[in-house]
Amino acid sequence: MKYQEKIATGKTERTLQFIGTGAKIGGNYVKYYAKKIFNNDLDKTELHSDNAEDIYNTLSDLKGSALKVAQMLSMDKGILPQEYTQKFALSQYSANPLSGPLVIKTFQKYLGNKPNEIFDTFNLNASNAASIGQVHTATKDGVKLAVKIQYPGIAQSIDSDMRIVKPIAKMMFQITEKELEKYFNEVREKLIEETNYTIELNRGQEISLACAGLENVFFPKYYPELSSEKILTMQWLDGSHLADFLQTNPTQEIKNKIGQALWDFYNFQIHQLKKVHADPHPGNFLMTAEGKVGVIDFGCVKEIPENFYNYYFALILPEIRENKEKLESVMQYLEMVFPNDTEKVRTVFKDAFFMMTNLLASPFNTPTFDFGDKNYIAKIYAMGEALAQNPDIRNSKEARGSRHMLYINRTYFGLYTLLHELGANITTGLGDWRLSIIKNISGNKDAISQL
């Protein structure tokens, strides 16, 4: 395992590392085309593998928002070749950790003492390392603890990383900087929150208390007196991350049980709390042989504005979808279509969003749903690819969709991916929230009163 003695935090340092990686990727292409001269049937598997290795190594060293991008891409198996997603999945809990001396220095700075002066025992070797911080095991008063330590300088590197990524995003999505800004502000806000462990501690305590009555979901106890803005101490939870859990060949009954727990956990947060754990990648969950799931990270939580909540979920209700005027009004409120759109553009986007939301809403419109159905997930990926290749959509210069959709869509996509990997068949429950949404949007004079 490679340990790091320092992390580049300045814009110049981090930019140079990106440039160096670009040079390596260029070399990989030279090597690929040289081999192809002698073997015309050579595919790009080795090229993708080499590129993924070089990119991941750089992101692993940079950490922070740069590595967070890899973490998010690893969840989307429809965007990148599998060589990338497999390598980037390591960012969920297997990045290069900080060295022991840096860990000790962090404790002295934020808690005033070395870790062995605070805990009865403390393992200087990290048990896992991700994009924002790494986790160490410790004990105190006979209790096993997980101590999360943030990488130094990560908060200060966010703005420089965003500036580096922004031109790439503009080119990829073909939208103006002004349109892109609302999404970048949303991401920046969440990244800054993730670098404040005091916020995470408070949210973890609040949401775990509110969700304590849910079946088969469990949470760690938090220790505010052993925590700070850059150090978070909580109870150690036993369990396995998804890939390791599936290697144990659990029964379908156990997989369904865990899938049901995840579904209930997310829907309770969204429909009852109006705030949600918005980072559902496998590194944030621990699964047990008994069919329970532990939630160990509340760094990224999205608070859901009431009006947005009502109109977002109105999109999946048959009462709205079957009424063209109501559906168009909801889409306009959610910034999927705009009043100044030409009729052709409006039709293109209405049809595209209707098809996509119809597919994504499928689990909500049936009492049970089998997320193990490979055809369902394949349809989602295929539709995403088709929409991305649609010239009318690609050539649109306006960003579509409320900024609040960014993390809610990400949450549901991550949840669907987890449930698909589990192959879980669950009871979705149609839910009383449907009636309240119809009532709320019908009485909202400030938005779509005609509903």
pLDDT tens-digit profile of 113-127? 999 999 999 999 888
Q: Residue 257 and residue 388: Cα distance in Å, rounded?
A: 35
Average pLDDT over residues 251-269: 96
Q: Which of 84-88, 98-102, 179-183, 380-384 has the lowest mean pLDDT?
A: 84-88
Average pLDDT over residues 247-272: 96
pLDDT tens-digit profile of 194-215? 899 999 999 999 999 999 999 9
**For the chain, what is the radius of gyration of the CA atoms?**
23
pLDDT at residue 167 in the model:
62
Percent over 90 (pLDDT), the chain: 38
Burial of 378 (0-12, 13-18, 19+ CB in 10 A): exposed
What are the domain boundaries of the chain? Answer: 11-92, 239-451
pLDDT at residue 450 in the model:
40
Does 216 have pLDDT greater than 80?
yes
Q: H helices then E strands: how many in the chain?
A: 19, 12
For residue 429, give both structure tokens: 């429950």
pLDDT at residue 16 in the model:
52
pLDDT at residue 388 in the model:
67
pLDDT at residue 400 in the model:
81
pLDDT at residue 186 in the model:
83
Average pLDDT over residues 421-450: 70
pLDDT at residue 222 in the model:
97
Residues 6 or more apart in contact with residue 13 via CB below 8 angstroms: none
For residue 256, give both structure tokens: 């369904």
**What is the SS3 assignment for 395?**
coil
Task: Please give the backbone phi and psi of residue 335, each rounded to the nearest 5 degrees, phi first.
Answer: 65, 30
**What is the SS3 assignment for 224?**
helix
Burial of 59 (0-12, 13-18, 19+ CB in 10 A): buried
Query: In terms of pLDDT, which residue wins out, 95 or 318?
Result: 318
Residue 67: which pLDDT band, with cuts at 50, 70 and 90? low
pLDDT at residue 100 in the model:
85
Neighbours of 45 (CB within 10 A): 11
Average pLDDT over residues 188-199: 90
Q: Residue 203 and residue 275: Cα distance in Å, rounded?
A: 10
Does 264 have pLDDT greater than 50?
yes
Residue 77: which pLDDT band, with cuts at 50, 70 and 90? very low
**What is the SS3 assignment for 285?**
strand
pLDDT tens-digit profile of 225-236? 999 999 999 999
For residue 401, give both structure tokens: 């969709």
Query: In terms of pLDDT, which residue wins out, 402 or 78?
Result: 402
Neighbours of 334 (CB within 10 A): 19
- Per the CB < 8 A criterion, the answer to whether 211 and 217 are in contact is yes
Select from 42, 428, 61, 68 the least CA-distant residue to 283. 68
pLDDT at residue 76 in the model:
47
Residue 289: which pLDDT band, with cuts at 50, 70 and 90? very high
Residue 40: which pLDDT band, with cuts at 50, 70 and 90? low
- Per the CB < 8 A criterion, the answer to whether 203 and 233 are in contact is no
- Per the CB < 8 A criterion, the answer to whether 232 and 201 are in contact is yes
Bridge partners (DSSP) of residue 368 are 427
**What average pLDDT does the chain have?**
79
Does 23 have pLDDT greater than 80?
no
- Per the CB < 8 A criterion, the answer to whether 286 and 238 are in contact is yes
